[in-house]
Structure 1
């Protein structure tokens, strides 16, 4: 066989290996696609982001966590579409008041009580004001569903496995202890300035240093004033003229003499002389060249601005004296705590210097301003200090006991704070747990006051709450996908 004939025989079979290779690649790709799609009907979700659901295995595009298959989808209870976060308004329109229906399957309706043939849940009676399924005993203001969550069903075995516990919604006394810091200040109502109402010189200074202790009535300084000396002499002249007036003097003369005496006395009072000093002047019968200033309270010298022999002008401050028998505490609280604080509220005060001592104080004033940078409000408390051991500018720890009285309350562990709302899960019986949006008021370390969303006597989940919430979100997301697919 020549070369040309051999080449003609081999040429038709040269493309056969290429065809086999292409068919093999197509078959491998088909198997890979079938394997990537996963078993028929199987769905996957991210444990950290239950709202992300897909029919293909892989990693979560949000956090990168491995997706896990959703198991027992059909046994977790039928899902209700919640594409907008609210139930369709016509879901109970076909049910007449007095009829019984299934909260999970509103299409199941009968005239008498019983159980749902689909899920086994106890049928409930529709009331005149029934707003939606599954809410016959809930408060009227909890008739709205919680967006992104739905009712779920947990068997007794699952409840025991996750450690789920319940607690009742009940009325209880709410007492909260508010702890804050405070700084000691002088009582401004017991702060005195020694400022003579006349000009003169300091002849003698008995208190010659700042911080000197003082007792009530103790001499502080002696001054000389020509103005005061002349006023004393004028008073003595007027007083003697009034005293020496004969009994049969004319009425006009008596009135003039009395007016002159009273004017001279008023002048002395305006210059700062007190009643004992004026009586001493009358008994002595001669003007005093010097006058003595005595301490008005028991306290200490806050500031000394004069020296012995120094001249001073009218109204010039020579000494500042403070009474330490009662002090002020300026305490700081956040503005959110202001509604719970009232004037007259008792407080317990402790000082780091004396950790074994406690002092009693009371709120006397709430300052009408807020610190713009720290968003803090300020309180004023009054504290007795009979031994003068507490000093201004000391720091103190203050505890305010806030008693709200008896309120409808729920354990704090029964609430999930999503940032936009607080959610609790109510046990509806037969293993069904319903999410409720709850408005809270007073809060203590262990309990929260219920303003709306829960009724007294209802049972709420307190343990395994995050697992229940994740299941509710997952079921709501699946229901939304199913509704979108239809």
Structure 2
């Protein structure tokens, strides 16, 4: 019993000794480490905590993220700069993120597009053929709607009895050598009665009454109406035929409203038709019509296309290939644009390597390039890859808010354009 008691006392003494050692060596070290951490935390002021995957949401206290399976990350006051609305990324992070940049430079947008179109009659070559005199159709030439006629081709022959009396009077005055005033008056009556000038001249030469009239095509084109046949009677107001030209033919394309400013005298236009593969047709001239189509929000682009062989038929579908360049503008790659719907911005990199968001105003985009009206200057370096990660960081440290508080930089595009031209 005595031995067991001394053994118990020995163990108690050993425990006291170990506690003393812990108090002397281990506890001071723990306290020192904790104090250093507290000093570090005291030196760096925490603005808020956030989830890097949802940087727009800020929290007042640390803890687990409600969005992801991770802890919230502190945002320190010394990580941003109030002088420059930007963020700093280490070279290692730049390499890991695969950040790439490009230089803003003056240039012209190159725009190419194929526009759907239709072939139509040339409405400037449109003739309505009247009889101009009442008569009887002696002969109708073998023609029908859709036939092509050349200028001067005969359409119908008619007999006009109303001319006989006036012609007889005119021939009598010629025989009696009547004054020129009388002869002129009778000639005028014959012309108003529908007698062509060439028949009046023929009457003066042959001194034979003409009651037979051949009505001919006044222009070359396609008959779009022709209904008279032999044996019919016609009045002087009757329409004999309508003729519409097809050389040059009209090609009308539907053009987006956004292309209005792109269409210039230097625009290249070519026409092709699906029914004529491999063939392209010369555009003689073109014009943009003054009204837009409300249902499609397009403008009508009218082209005058040479058609000497009549290969292009009215009603055919066609394609208009458009190639044009804009006036000089400040250009950047389109992938550098961050479009939020309410604003457009880019991430620029200054000479010290800081990434700074800037608002921009866009003019147009084509072929992977975007033309700017304001916001940047020639020579500015813009981020084209990995910009969304930097944009999120800029949103966290308030760089975007400071960007919006500052007036946007406006480029004097008119001066730049004039210098470029």
TM over 0.5: yes
Deviation at residue 440 of structure 1 after TM alignment? 2.2
CA deviation map 1:284-334 (0-9, x unaligned): 212222100112222221222222221222222121112222111121122
The answer to whether the 8 A contact 1:345-1:362 is kept is no
Residue 473 of structure 1: SS of its match in structure 2? Answer: helix
Deviation at residue 207 of structure 1 after TM alignment? 3.7
Distance 1:346 1:276 in 2: 46
Match for residue 384 of structure 1 among 282, 299, 306: 306
Match for residue 373 of structure 1 among 295, 307, 312: 295
Answer yes or no: is 1:258 the counterpart of 2:263.
no
Distance 1:199 1:343 in 2: 51
CA deviation map 1:385-428 (0-9, x unaligned): 00011011111111222222433211212112222222111111
Deviation at residue 222 of structure 1 after TM alignment? 0.8
CA deviation map 1:225-284 (0-9, x unaligned): 22244444444444555xx25xxxxxxxxxxx3222223323344445444333222222
Farther off after superposition, 205-214 or 399-408:
399-408
Deviation at residue 444 of structure 1 after TM alignment? 1.7
C-alpha change, 1:463 and 1:266, in structure 2 (3 Å) is: farther
Question: When you count strand as a share of all residues, which structure comes out higher?
Answer: 2
Aligned equivalent of 1:186: 121
Aligned equivalent of 1:215: 150
Aligned equivalent of 2:210: 288
**CA-atom RMSD in angstroms:** 2.8
Aligned residues: 355
Aligned equivalent of 1:397: 319
C-alpha change, 1:478 and 1:199, in structure 2 (3 Å) is: closer
Which 5+ residue runs of structure 2 have no aligned equivalent? 1-40, 403-421
Answer yes or no: is 1:51 the counterpart of 2:56.
yes
Which 5+ residue runs of structure 1 have no aligned equivalent? 1-39, 61-65, 80-103, 107-133, 135-149, 246-256, 481-486
Aligned equivalent of 1:325: 247
Query: TM-score, normalised to structure 2's length?
Result: 0.76
C-alpha change, 1:461 and 1:228, in structure 2 (3 Å) is: farther
Query: TM-score, normalised to structure 1's length?
Result: 0.66
What are the within-5 Å matches in structure 2 for residues 64-463 of structure 1?
Answer: 66=68, 68-69=70-71, 71=73, 73-74=75-76, 78-79=79-80, 104-106=81-83, 134=84, 151-241=86-176, 244-245=177-178, 257-342=179-264, 345-361=267-283, 364-463=286-385
Residue 52 of structure 1: SS of its match in structure 2? Answer: strand
Distance 1:270 1:344 in 2: 50
Deviation at residue 70 of structure 1 after TM alignment? 5.0
Aligned equivalent of 1:140: none
Distance 1:377 1:383 in 2: 19
The answer to whether the 8 A contact 2:249-2:307 is kept is yes
C-alpha change, 1:314 and 1:478, in structure 2 (3 Å) is: closer
